Amino acid sequence: MAGQRTDPYRYLTCGGCGCSIDQREHWGFPNENTDPTRVHLIADAAAPAYGVRCPCSHYTLYANPEDLPVGLPKGIRLSWSGKLT
């Protein structure tokens, strides 16, 4: 439709299974006790601060590479540097 805006951040691709996930339906954020192999970060400093929990139990979220979200589990591999948190 003319004039309709599209949210480029609405859908995320699960870092675990590769499914396209609607962030409005599957919002979720890992805590410090979450298995770090189930947490996938997308480097994007301009993105809104939200993530999704896929039905496959993996979390995928946007993160500012210079200022990671508080409360993430230790041991997440940072895809943009290869380092662990």
Q: Which of residues 85 and 20 earns the better pLDDT score?
A: 20
Average pLDDT over residues 4-24: 88
Domain locations along the chain: 8-85
Asked whether the beta carbons of 69 and 47 are under 8 A apart, the reply is: no
pLDDT at 2 over 70: no
For residues 13 and 40, give the distance between their C-alpha atoms in angstroms, rounded to a whole number.
10
Q: In terms of pTM, does the model score above 0.95?
A: no
pLDDT at 79 over 80: yes
Identify residue 66 by its one-letter amino acid code.
Answer: E
Q: What is the pLDDT of residue 72?
A: 93
